[in-house]
Structure 1
Amino acid sequence: MTLHHLKYFLPKQFCFGAVTRNLSKTTLAIETSFDNTAVAVISSDNRILADEIFDQVKYHNMTGGTDPRFAKSLHKRHLPKITEKCLLKIGATNIDSVAVTTMPGRAICLEIGLQYAKDLCRRLEVPMIPVHHMRAHAVVARMYHSDICYPFLTLLISGGHCLLALVESVDQFWLLGESLDIAPGHFLDCVANVMGLNEMEQFKSKSGGAVLDSLAICGDPDLFPINYRGIRMCGGTPLNFSFSGVLAATKRAVVKFKQVNSEEYFEEMLPHIAAAAMRVVSKHLLHKLTRCMYFLHDKSIDDNRTLVVSGGCASSRVLTEDLNKLCRLRNYKLFIPPPNVCIDNAVMIGYTAHEMVESGFEPIRCEDLETVEVDGFAKIGNDATRSVNISKHITSNFRRLTMSEFSIANEINGFERSSNSFGSFERILKH
C-alpha cells in the first residue's frame, strides 16, 4: 500500500471530511531512523495494540554492511506494508495522533518516515508528535518498570551511538559523555567481519554483534590476548568514549592469528576471540561508568542510584552480566528494557510521545506539519561533556578491584543525604 493508495484503504470519511474522534486515545508510531522499519500502535494506558518491525539485518549482511541509500529504499518499500498490518489490527478510526522519529539518524531515512507520517496525519486529520530517537531509547524503560523515577542515569549503546546522559525528565537530558569516533555495536560488527562470521551460513541472519555475544558465552577472553595501550582518557571530556584505537588493535590481532594458524584451529578459537572482543567493549564501558558514578556522587546528584541501559547492545548477555556486577558494587539499580525494544522499534516512539504530551507538549496540528523537519545530528540534550570534572583517578578493573577501588566504592555506597537533596543539574554545573 503506497501513500497514494492510502485513501482507498482507509474508511471514506477519514479521507474527505472531519468526523467525531474515538474517545479511546491511541497513537500510531513510526520509526525509520536507519536500519529497521517499524510501526506500532500504543493506547492511552500504554498497551501495545499493534507492533510490526521489518528487520533489515539480513539484507544489509548480503551487501557487506549498512548502506543508507539501500536502507532508504527498504523503508520506502516496507513502511506502507507494515502500517497496513497495524491498521488492519486496530482500525484506522481508532488513531488519534501519529508519532514519528525526526532525529537523530540518517537524514534520507528519517525523511521517508516523516513524509509518510505527514500524509497519514492529513488523511486521518490527526496531529503529529515528533520524537527524538535516542531519548525514546532511554524513556521506554519506564513503560516496563514503573519504579524508574526521574532523574536517572542512562547508557545508550548501539551500532550507531554510545552515550551517557542524566535524564531529569522526558524533555530534559544532560549529555555527560559520547563516543568520539565509533559506537560499540560498530566495533563488534567490524570485528565479526574480520573474523569472517558474516560469510558463515549459520550467522547470515544475525548482526555481527549478536553473533559475537552468542559465541562469547562459551569463550575464555584470556586465551586470546589483545594488545593495546589502554583506554583513551579524552582530555577535558573525561566521560567521552573512543573505540577506534582498540578496534585497530583487535583487527591486527585477529588478522595475525589467522595468518599463522590453520583454518580448523582458527574456527576452534572463535568463541575465545569473541570473548576477548566483548571484554574490550565491556572494559571501556565499565571504566567510563565508574567515573560517571563517582562524578554524580561527588556532585550529590545520585539520590535515585538508577541506571537505564538501552540500545541494540543492551541485549548482550555478556555486557549485561558485567553491568550487573558494577551496579551491585555501586549500589545502583539496573534496568534494561526487553530485547524487542532495545533494537530500533516504534513502541518506544509511541510511549515517549505519550510522556511528552503528559508533560505539556502540544502536538503539531495538520496545518503546521510543514514546519516539522528532520535533524540527523541532533544531540540528546544539553551538552555538559566539558563541564564534567573528576577530582580523583577513578578506574575499573575488569576482573578484580584494587584497594583504592574498594575505598571509593565504600565512599560512594556509604554516602547518605536526604531524598530531596537533588537539585537542577544546570545549577550544579554553574557552581
Structure 2
Amino acid sequence: MLILGIESSCDETGVALVDAAAQGVPRLRGAALHSQVAMHEQYGGVVPELASRDHIRRILPLTERALAEAGAALHDVQAVAYTRGPGLAGALLVGAGVACALAAALEVPVVGMHHLEGHLLSPFLSADPPEFPFVALLVSGGHTQLMRVDGVGRYTLLGETIDDAAGEAFDKSAKLLGLGYPGGPALARLAEQGDPEAFALPRPLLHSGDLDFSFAGLKTAVLTQVRKLGDALPLRRADLAAATQAAIVDVLVHKALAALRTTGLRRLVVAGGVGANQRLRAQLGQAAQRIGARVHYPELHLCTDNGAMIALAAALRWQAGLWPDDGRSYRFDVRPRWPLQELGHAVT
C-alpha cells in the first residue's frame, strides 16, 4: 500500500510517500519539506495566520515533488494520512482539508493521525529501527513526555512536563540571551563555544522521585543570570548558553534512565526536535551503555516535523489492523489539543 502523508501542524509543511506491505517495516519512497523559519524569524516566533496561509501555498507543490522523488503518479496513491492534532488549529485544517479532498478525488481511504505518535514511531524509518517494547522520550516543541510503548497504539504515560517543556526551555532561554529564531538550535550552536560549568543553574525535579519534568524554574534562573551580567552578557553569553543546555540535558538523561529502571526495559527511543541535540545524544549514549541499554533515534532529517512520520504511523496502524473504519466518509475535524495517551488502539 502506497500511503501519502501530510504534516501541517505548525511551521513545517511536509509531504511524503511510504510503501507498506502487509508485513515488514514500511519503506520511505519520497519526501518533500518546507520550513517557514525565514518567514517567522522577523516576528521572533510562529504567527499562526501566516503559517496557515503558507501551508496552503506549499502543500500541492510539495506533493508533486514527493511523487517525483518516489517515481510515482498521484493515481498510484492508495491511502492518504494527515496530521489531525495536536497543533495550530488553522494549520491543521489546511492539511486535513487537502488530504480529504485528495482522497475523495482518488476514491481511497483517508486517516487522521496523531502528531506525537508520528514522532514516537519515526525511528522505525531509521537504519537501526527499535523493537517493542521500549521507553520513549518525546521532546518535541511544547511536549516533553516519557511513555512506555508496548506496540503500535499501546502507550502508557510515565511522566510529562508540568509547565515548560524542554524545547520551550531552549527557545525561551535563547530569547533571553538575545539569540535569533528558532532559539533552540541557535543556543545549542553557541553552547559549543562555552563552559557548561560556568554557571550553577538548577536541575528542576531532578530528584523528585517521579518521572515528571519542570523547566519553568530554569528559565527564571537564566533570566536572573542575564540581569546580573548586565553589560557583561556578550562576554559570557556562550558560557550561559552552555550551562543552560547542560541543565536541560542532565534532567532529560536522568529521567530517561529512571524510566528504564522503573519499567525494567533496556531499550530507549528518543524522538522530536530536541532529539537532534548532539549533547543529549552523546550523554544518553554514554549513560545507556553503562547500564547495558540501547538508544534509538530517528535520522536527523526526521527529527523535525515531516510528512514521512505521518505516513509511517498510518502504515504501521494499517499493518496492525488499527484503522477505525474504511476511511471513505471524507469528513474531517482537527484536535489542536490531543493527549497521546487518549489515542488508544484506533484513531477516531
TM-score with structure 2 length normalisation? 0.90
Change (3 A) 1:146 1:323: closer
Residue 145 of structure 1 deviates from its aligned partner by 4.5
Is 1:231 the counterpart of 2:204? The answer is yes
> Matched residues in 1 for 2:183 and 2:19: separation?
35
Is 1:220 the counterpart of 2:195? The answer is yes
Is 1:211 the counterpart of 2:186? The answer is yes
1:37 partner letter: T
Change (3 A) 1:366 1:150: closer
Is 1:93 the counterpart of 2:78? The answer is no
Deviations 1:320-356 (A, max 9, x none): 1111122122221011111111110011111111111
> Matched residues in 1 for 2:269 and 2:37: separation?
25
Residue 233 of structure 1 deviates from its aligned partner by 6.9
Q: Which has the larger radius of gyration?
A: 1
> Matched residues in 2 for 1:232 and 1:101: separation?
32
Q: Bigger CA drift: 266-275 or 327-336?
A: 266-275
Deviations 1:119-152 (A, max 9, x none): 0111111111221111111112122245521110
> Matched residues in 2 for 1:97 and 1:86: separation?
15
> Matched residues in 2 for 1:158 and 1:352: separation?
16
Partner of 1:143: 125
Partner of 1:424: none
Identity of aligned residues (%): 30
Residue aligned with 1:163, SS = strand
Residue aligned with 2:340, SS = coil
Change (3 A) 1:194 1:144: same
Residue aligned with 1:331, SS = coil
Partner of 2:227: 255
> Matched residues in 2 for 1:145 and 1:373: separation?
35
Partner of 2:273: 312
1:124 corresponds to which of 82, 106, 112: 106
| Structure 1: stretches of 5+ with no match in the other structure | 1-24, 199-203, 384-431
1:57 partner letter: V
Deviations 1:202-233 (A, max 9, x none): xx6xx21111112222321122333x4x5237
> Matched residues in 2 for 1:216 and 1:85: separation?
36
> Matched residues in 1 for 2:342 and 2:294: separation?
25
Aligned length: 337
> Matched residues in 1 for 2:153 and 2:290: separation?
30
Partner of 1:77: 57
Change (3 A) 1:132 1:218: same
TM-score with structure 1 length normalisation? 0.74
Residue aligned with 1:223, SS = coil
8 Å Cα contact 1:125-1:366 kept in structure 2: no
Residue 365 of structure 1 deviates from its aligned partner by 4.0
Partner of 1:420: none
8 Å Cα contact 1:97-1:126 kept in structure 2: yes
2:205 partner letter: R
1:359 corresponds to which of 320, 328, 335: 320
Residue 87 of structure 1 deviates from its aligned partner by 3.6
> Matched residues in 2 for 1:125 and 1:211: separation?
45
Deviations 1:272-302 (A, max 9, x none): 22111101101221232233222213xxxx2
Residue 255 of structure 1 deviates from its aligned partner by 3.0
Deviations 1:363-397 (A, max 9, x none): 65464221x422122111269xxxxxxxxxxxxxx
> Matched residues in 1 for 2:342 and 2:17: separation?
30
Is 1:381 the counterpart of 2:348? The answer is no
1:157 corresponds to which of 139, 155, 164: 139
Residue aligned with 2:162, SS = coil
Residue aligned with 1:369, SS = coil
Residue aligned with 1:368, SS = coil
Change (3 A) 1:157 1:338: same
Residue 256 of structure 1 deviates from its aligned partner by 2.2
1:33-72 matched pairs, under 5 angstroms: 33-44=9-20, 46-72=26-52
CA RMSD of aligned residues (A): 2.1
Higher relative contact order (CA 8 A, sep 6+): 2
| Structure 2: stretches of 5+ with no match in the other structure | 344-348
Residue 190 of structure 1 deviates from its aligned partner by 1.2
8 Å Cα contact 2:13-2:55 kept in structure 1: yes
Partner of 1:327: 288
1:338 partner letter: E
